Chains A and B, each alone.
Chain A
């Protein structure tokens, strides 16, 4: 093991060890575990962040070219760690209130984060698959953690079934791509697709077996058409698998059900970190290894982006449940990011990375406020429950207003610059129509976000509405940090933008 290998694996190893320690805390008394677990996991996340920052002096491919140490991976890893820290801190009192298993919750959250870090850094389709499964399996359990709640276990079931269905598609795509190029390493596939050179020279690989050699001759030279077909199928299958994970239309059906049934802090995490991880894998696979066939998949991406924004926004108009509304809004936001991805340029990727960071802060903030207003058992999540919140609990309503304005994309918030960079990148790449549809969509979206503001500030509270309790310390800190970050990125985007640019520039140009 070289120093580079160690640097590549260090953040993931720290997360895993911390997760195992948290898991063991599940056996001690509940009171002790509650106070210790969040501290331990936050320490672990801080140590992992330090390890990611320490990685900066290294670059290259580690572990026989399976892990890549680069700014792109580091950007995503830092994002996952920040998301995990925010969600972990905010859910401390929530877990206690809902009587959930605390040690297991933190352990699973850290395992999921470790899986996502692995996905972001992987240079091998198989490692991406393993990372995807580590994070998915942990999230399936997290979603179903309110075991006695029928909605929670139902949404865990839907998430599990559709998630594993999608993973099978992804895996089949990997197998076919392996069949086409003879390797699962992203860089080797790139070299093959650009140079037409199989990673395993046919004659050397097949030895002296005359029958096999004939087969090889046929498939390698006789039917070049069938190789193209196989490559096309591989791209389509990988696309389907990842589109499920970023909940792109037409593979979005699970998202609202899962977010509605999941514990709210878990939904906050699901809508940000795993989605970002799927985007990391998406961008890396398509830009690094499948860049040569961009002509084939860019049309697919164009249509998916348009459908995802439109369906997400239109469906959100009819929602009265806040968690469901935020789920549809997260589908729409994935659509905006796909618009930037369709441009396939460095600017486009920069815009996605920037958007993911801003979106993480505003969405986690919104979900944590929703968690708190929902009260014990998460009963108050309907729009009517927010009537007059601006008078009942002005601070909470003001914070939610900031997050909603940012989700709309009002200037001086992170959402504005996120959308601005996305549409600018799309215009620069000549995607005029997609940009027009995107801007129209943002206008539609304003309606349902403003609906929440109207309910909070212009409706009389229902008489029976109980006053909202004070926010517990952990959640209050997180919401304040999220609001501050949303405004800070909205006023001074250059710091995050520079990081995103640096990360995106590492990717090869198409």
Chain B
């Protein structure tokens, strides 16, 4: 039997990987995948906790998160396409017409 803490630690590691990917990667699609990784790390926490508490709430939240992630993918990819049409690049460093 795998203890709960293992799941939570794995989820924390996956979440941190997502954050690191978001900060260090330069390709838009990779950034987007990093965010998805973060959301799925959270899902793992929800499922593990839900199993531990022996209640279904956490499992249901995962469905909600998955639906939201799907909606986010639809909107996000559409925005990425519209940026690509205007700029012909997917590198975040080159997409900086607005000054910081």
Q: Which A positions have Cβ atoms within 8 angstroms of B?
A: 126, 129-130, 133, 137, 140-141, 144, 147-151, 153-158, 160-161, 164-165, 168-169, 171-172, 174-176, 178-179, 182-184, 200, 205-207, 211-212, 215-216, 219, 253, 256-257, 260-261
Cβ B39 vs Cβ A219 within 8 A: no
Known contacts A155-B98, A184-B57, A257-B98; A133/B71 CB under 8 A: yes
Q: Check A156–B42 contact: CB distance below 8 A.
A: no
Q: How far is the CB of A101 from chain B (nearest CB, A)?
A: 13
B86 and A153 contact, CB distance less than 8 A: yes
B27 CB, min distance to chain A CBs, angstroms? 12
Give CA–CA (A147, B80) in the complex, Å: 11
Q: How far is the CB of A251 from chain B (nearest CB, A)?
A: 14
Which of B1, B11, B49 has a CB less than 8 Å from the CB of A178?
A: B49
Total count of chain B residues near the partner, CB < 8 A:
47
Q: A137-B75, A205-B55, A206-B54 are in contact. Are A129 and B82 (CB under 8 A)?
A: no
By beta carbon, the residue of chain A nearest B87 is A150
Interface residues of B in 19-57 (CB under 8 A from A): 22, 28, 31-32, 35, 38-39, 41-42, 45-46, 49, 52-55, 57
Instruction: Determine whether the beta carbon of A154 is less than 8 Å from that of B83.
Output: yes
B18 and A164 contacting across the interface, CB-CB below 8 Å = no
Partner of A182, one of B31, B53, B78: B53
Residues 64-90 of B contacting A (Cβ, < 8 Å): 64-65, 68, 71-72, 75-76, 78-80, 82-83, 85-87
- Does A144 lie within 8 Å of B68, measured CB to CB? no
Say yes or no: A215-B42 contact (C-beta < 8 A), given A150-B86, A161-B32. no
Given contacts A179-B49, A260-B98, contact A172 B87 (CB under 8 A): no
From residue A178, how far is it (CB to closest CB) to chain B in Å?
6
Q: Is the CB of A144 within 8 A of B82?
A: yes
Residues of A within 8 A of B78 (CB): 141
Is A140 a contact partner of B64 (Cβ separation < 8 A)? no
In this assembly, does B10 line the interface, its C-beta being within 8 Å of a C-beta of chain A? no
Contact status of A148 and B45, CB under 8 A, knowing A129-B68, A219-B5: no
Which B residues touch A165, using CB under 8 A?
Answer: 22, 35, 38
Query: In the complex, what's the smallest C-beta–C-beta distance from A204 to chain B, in angstroms?
Result: 9
Closest-by-CB residue of B relative to A146 is: B82
* A175 to B64 CA separation, bound complex (whole angstroms): 13
Could you say which residues of chain A place their CB within 8 Å of the CB of B49? 175, 178-179
Contacts of A178 in B (CB 8 A): 46, 49, 57-58, 61
Q: Point out the residues of chain B lying under 8 angstroms from A129, CB to CB.
A: 64-65, 68
B-side contacts of A158, CB under 8 Å: 98
Hey, which chain B residues are within 8 Å of A148, CB to CB?
Answer: 86
Give bound CA distance, A176 to B28, whole Å: 29
Closest residue to A258 on the B side, CB-wise? B98
Q: Roughly how many angstroms separate A130 CA and B97 CA in the complex, as a whole number?
A: 32
| CB nearest neighbor in B for A209 | B1
A130-B64, A175-B49, A176-B45 are known; give 17 further A-B pairs, CB within 8 A.
A147-B82, A149-B86, A150-B86, A150-B97, A154-B96, A154-B98, A156-B79, A156-B82, A157-B79, A164-B35, A164-B76, A168-B38, A178-B57, A179-B49, A200-B54, A215-B4, A219-B4
A168 to B96, CA, bound (A): 24
Contact call B95/A154, Cβ cutoff below 8 A = yes
The minimal Cβ–Cβ distance linking B71 to chain A, given in whole angstroms, is 6
**Interface CB pairs A-B, < 8 A, 9:** A129-B68, A168-B38, A168-B42, A169-B38, A171-B42, A184-B57, A200-B55, A206-B52, A256-B98
The residue on B at minimum CB distance from A126 is: B61
Asked if A215 and B3 sit within 8 Å, CB to CB, the answer is yes
Question: Does residue B17 face the partner (Cβ distance < 8 Å to A)?
Answer: no
In the bound complex, what is the Cα–Cα distance between A207 and B31 (angstroms)?
Answer: 42
Can you name the residue of chain B whose Cβ is closest to the Cβ of A226? B5
B98 pairs with A175, CB closer than 8 A: no
Given A153, A157, A200, which contacts B53 in the complex, CB threshold below 8 Å? A200
A133 to B65, CA, bound (A): 10
B41's closest neighbor in chain A, by CB?
A: A172
A137 to B74, CA, bound (A): 10
- Bound Cα distance A141, B38 (Å): 22
Cβ-defined partner of B98 (8 Å) among A147, A151, A206, A216: A151
Which of the listed residues B4, B18, B32, B83 has the most CB atoms from chain A within 10 Å of its own CB?
Answer: B83
A381 to chain B, nearest CB (A): 12
CB nearest to A138 among chain B residues: B75
In the complex, which residues of chain A have a beta carbon less than 8 angstroms from the beta carbon of B100?
253, 256-257
Given A184-B61, A207-B54, CB of A179 within 8 Å of CB of B98: no
Cα A141 to Cα B22 in complex, Å, equals 21
Least CB separation from A164: chain B residue: B35
Q: Which 5 A-B pairs have the closest CB atoms?
A: A168-B38, A211-B1, A175-B45, A150-B86, A153-B82
Residues in B neighbouring A205, C-beta threshold 8 A: 53-55
Q: Is the CB of A179 within 8 A of B8?
A: yes
Of A160, A206, A219, which is within 8 A of B75 by CB?
A160
**Residues in chain A near residue B42, CB distance under 8 A:** 168, 171-172, 174-175
CB-based contact B35/A168 at 8 Å? yes
Q: Name the one of A150, A161, A168 contacting B39, with C-beta atoms under 8 angstroms.
A: A168
Chain A residues with Cβ under 8 A from B83's Cβ? Answer: 153-154, 156-157
Kindly state the separation between the CA atoms of A129 and B72 in the bound complex, as whole angstroms: 13
Contact check, A212 vs B1: say whether CB atoms are below 8 A apart.
Answer: yes
The docked-state distance in angstroms from the alpha carbon of A256 to that of B79 is 19
Q: Closest chain B residue to A202 by CB distance?
A: B53
